[in-house]
Structure 1
Amino acid sequence: MKTIIHKASDRGAKQISWLKSYHSFSFGDYQDPNKMSFGLLRVLNDDYVEPGMGFGMHGHENMEIVSIPLYGSLNHQDSMGNDAVIKTGDVQIMSAGTGIRHAEFNGSKSEAVKFLQIWVFPKQYNIAPRYAQKSFEEADKHNQFLTVVSPDQENEQAVWINQDAWFSLANLDADKELQYDLKGNASGVYIFVLQGQLSVAEHVLDNRDAIGVYDTTSVVVKAHLDTKLLVIEVPMA
């Protein structure tokens, strides 16, 4: 088993009047040659957007883009004609494929929104752009891993991703221990602490800390406090 630690305090940061954004990997003005990706996981941005503000129309291509609101909601519009709201408990995905333009705004005039935006390199390039979102119940994450993103197109419980990647969420009670079994033969997992404290491979992780684990077939996590976490399994090459 091999590990790499990304402490919350070591992330890149962008702060302007309406946005606070923290980057686990190189992004925009934050460039660190040692943090270009974890396997095929390219971006994990932790964004806070003030009421009524957001990202205007902009383009992407050949990237799988997952958005996970942690609180509040986002208004989404794109060049395919989608006009949707994603809220806490939802997971949204766009396969940018041959090209897509979209905008994301905090539609609330009073409440900030906090969300994760995650980019994964695609398995097939230049596919037709695609959009999907699903809602998930907090109860289904209690002391267990809930798969919210999957490459299995027949898995109606998760949103489909154009890559051999799986995203799972879990809400663990203090002292709860869980084992995550990797699904891909050449995969690693990137474990991101949303809230709380847990141990992984003898490392203690706090809020917004992360650990990448690879060259293994399973990983055990143990919560020291009530803890929420995100596990992203991706091919390492």
Structure 2
Amino acid sequence: MLITRSGEKRGLSQYGWLKSYHSFSFAGYYDPRNMGVSVLRVINDDTVAPGAGFPTHGHRDMEIISYVIEGSIRHKDSDGHEAVLSAGQFQVMTAGTGISHSEYNDSNVAPLHFLQIWILPNARNLEPRYEKKSIEDTQGMTLVASGQAHSNALFINQDVNLHLIRLSAGTSQTITLDPERIAYFHIVKGDASLESQRLLGGDAGIIIEQQQTTLHGEQDVEAILFDLPRA
């Protein structure tokens, strides 16, 4: 079964320096029917003006993943990690017992476009940690983060697998699913079809109780697949 949600129905916050679309209830956007899916709580699609960003602020008991779509992001946290990530790079931060960080557009000329993703951890008061990963510009499906130890994937403290899917126009990716779990597709950019349903950038598709599906690139498309437990 497929359930789709238009990106046009997302919440929107605008602060001059920031334009942020919220897939789930966040900040001033609140919908009690749309609080997240399984342990997935936040997908914010953020565009940050040159030189601007999020000043130092705190988090705890959350797995926080950032994915840079365009531009570059400058990260700094209270555990001493400093990094500049460019397009195609992911970072994961376990907030755990508490961590403060800042995220700024590293360019004074070009805007920054990135996704901020929050996942509930499988335990409270975990030790804070930080990792980053570059994804090669290849076609198909790539495992980016997982609750299982993989040498080529970021680790997250939750029973979740996060895949990045890139397809050129006219190509398809057939995906094996666990019918006892939830498959959540977020279209990052482009034009795709899932179960014959057209999905554009910002749109989402949720599949349950199926063993297989196919994502087809109507045009070049980039998507994130969250393999989630039934919460």
Q: Report the TM range for the smaller structure's normalisation.
A: over 0.9
1:17-96 alignment runs, 5 A limit? 17-96=16-95
What is residue 150 of structure 1 aligned with on the other side? 146
Distance 2:11 2:4 in 1: 15
Distance 2:76 2:181 in 1: 33
Percent of aligned pairs sharing the same letter: 39
After TM superposition, give the deviation of residue 181 of structure 1 in Å.
1.8
After TM superposition, give the deviation of residue 179 of structure 1 in Å.
1.5
Do the aligned partners of 2:146 and 2:154 also contact (CA within 8 Å) in 1? yes
What is residue 203 of structure 2 aligned with on the other side? 209
Higher deviation after alignment, 197-206 or 31-40: 197-206
Distance 2:129 2:176 in 1: 29
CA displacement 1:132-158 (0-9 Å, x = unmatched): 00111112xx1x1011111222x1211
Counterpart residue identity of residue 35, structure 1: N
Distance 1:185 1:124 in 2: 25
Structure 1 unpaired stretches of 5+: none
- Give RMSD over aligned pairs: 1.3
Distance 1:89 1:199 in 2: 23
Do the aligned partners of 1:55 and 1:103 also contact (CA within 8 Å) in 2? yes
Q: Secondary structure at the match of 2:216?
A: strand
Q: Does 1:175 align with 2:170?
A: yes
Q: Secondary structure at the match of 2:184?
A: strand
Counterpart residue identity of residue 215, structure 1: E
CA displacement 1:154-196 (0-9 Å, x = unmatched): x1211111111111112212222212223x6742111111222
Do the aligned partners of 1:73 and 1:106 also contact (CA within 8 Å) in 2? yes
When normalised by structure 2's length, the TM-score is 0.95
Distance 1:236 1:44 in 2: 19
Distance 2:97 2:87 in 1: 29
More strand by share: 2
Distance 1:98 1:234 in 2: 24
Counterpart residue identity of residue 173, structure 1: S
CA displacement 1:88-129 (0-9 Å, x = unmatched): 111100111111111111121111100000011111221101
Structure 2 unpaired stretches of 5+: none
Q: Which of 208, 219, 231 is matched with 2:213 structurally?
A: 219
Q: Does 1:109 align with 2:108?
A: yes
Distance 2:185 2:206 in 1: 6
